[in-house]
């Protein structure tokens, strides 16, 4: 059984602006951190090369299927950490195959859960988002992000994952006053073992600020 440590955090209203999610914070509308990182030119070029290599139609099918499986696995993780997972009711066998290898990692390493799927924002960063999990990982309070993948990832391929977790860390401290420096990215991989990446927030703060600066300069006419 997972222990939960409650925090009272406000929910935010979201709006779609030019097809991108924004969070309404007072009189401001902050783009989601995933929107900001998705505009990174290196990421866009990588996606475009992939689509060109396999074809647009196949890429669309893979993306749609990956999003569905990813959402379902996230739901399973959330239920499991909430001590509310019912194995007998679960009929999505593809998602279940990806979730099952995560179970011992979650059980052995995560506890004292402070938040799951809560809205966070930062007036300093001018962005917002919904963090997967804030909890102790191996005894240390961490930002924990869950990802799914068809293939194993190399660390150098997932800079945006670390920047996203770094953003949540800064948002969390701004909202609660509690600093978090450990970033944990857990990737469940189809037909392979899960991957665990640990990073320190301070290794990614400058990269994150650069990505945010680029977004606002190119897409929002400056800060």
Give me the pLDDT at residue 80, please.
94
Give me the pLDDT at residue 185, please.
98
Cα separations in angstroms, 117 against 10, 26, 50, 213 = 12, 21, 30, 26
User: CATH code for 13-219?
Assistant: 3.40.1350.10
Report how many helices (DSSP H) and strands (DSSP E) the chain contains, helices first: 7, 8
Q: Which residue has the higher pLDDT, 171 or 42?
A: 171
Decide if pLDDT at 61 tops 90: no
How confident is the model over 148-194, as pLDDT tens digits?
A: 998 999 999 999 999 999 999 999 999 999 999 999 999 999 989 99
Name the token pair of 124: 């300093």
Give me the pLDDT at residue 46, please.
72
Mean pLDDT of 194-200: 98
Decide if pLDDT at 142 tops 90: yes
Mean pLDDT of 57-80: 81
Mean pLDDT of 120-140: 97
pLDDT band at 62, cuts 50/70/90?
low
Decide if pLDDT at 222 tops 60: no
Q: Give CA–CA dist 155/70, Å, rounded.
A: 20
Q: Which residue has the higher pLDDT, 56 or 2?
A: 2
Do 17 and 35 form a contact (C-beta atoms < 8 A)? Answer: no
Give me the pLDDT at residue 221, please.
56
Pairing of strands 110-122, 127-137: antiparallel
Tokens 């779609």, residue?
16
How confident is the model over 81-110, as pLDDT tens digits?
A: 999 887 766 666 788 899 999 999 999 999
Decide if pLDDT at 59 tops 50: yes
Q: Give CA–CA dist 113/85, Å, rounded.
A: 16
pLDDT band at 63, cuts 50/70/90?
low
Do 44 and 67 form a contact (C-beta atoms < 8 A)? Answer: no
Q: Which residue has the higher pLDDT, 92 or 138?
A: 138
Q: Give CA–CA dist 214/84, Å, rounded.
A: 41
Give me the pLDDT at residue 123, please.
97
Across all residues in the chain, what is the average pLDDT? 90
Name the token pair of 65: 């299927």
DSSP string, 64-117: HHHHHHHHHHHHHHHHHHTT---GGG---HHHHHHHGGGHHHHHHHEEEEEEEE
The domain spans of the chain are 13-219
Do 131 and 150 form a contact (C-beta atoms < 8 A)? Answer: no
């Amino acid at each position: 059984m997972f222990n939960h440590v409650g925090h009272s955090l406000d929910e935010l209203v979201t709006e779609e602006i030019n097809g991108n999610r924004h969070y309404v914070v007072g009189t401001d509308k902050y783009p989601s951190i995933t929107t900001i990182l998705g505009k990174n030119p290196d990421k866009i070029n990588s996606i475009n090369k992939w689509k060109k290599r396999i074809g647009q139609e196949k890429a669309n099918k893979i993306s749609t299927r990956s999003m569905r499986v990813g959402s379902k696995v996230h739901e399973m993780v959330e239920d499991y950490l909430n001590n509310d997972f019912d194995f007998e009711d679960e009929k999505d066998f593809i998602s279940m195959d990806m979730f099952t290898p995560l179970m011992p990692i979650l059980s052995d390493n995560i506890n004292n859960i402070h938040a799951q799927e809560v809205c966070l924002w930062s007036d300093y960063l001018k962005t917002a988002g919904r963090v997967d999990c804030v909890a102790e990982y191996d005894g240390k309070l961490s930002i924990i992000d869950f990802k799914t993948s068809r293939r194993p990832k190399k660390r150098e391929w997932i800079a945006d994952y670390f920047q996203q977790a770094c953003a949540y860390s800064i948002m969390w401290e701004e909202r609660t006053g509690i600093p978090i420096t450990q970033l944990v990215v857990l990737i469940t991989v189809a037909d392979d073992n899960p991957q665990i990446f640990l990073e320190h927030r301070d290794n990614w703060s400058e990269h994150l600020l650069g990505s945010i600066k680029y977004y606002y300069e190119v897409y929002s006419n400056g800060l």
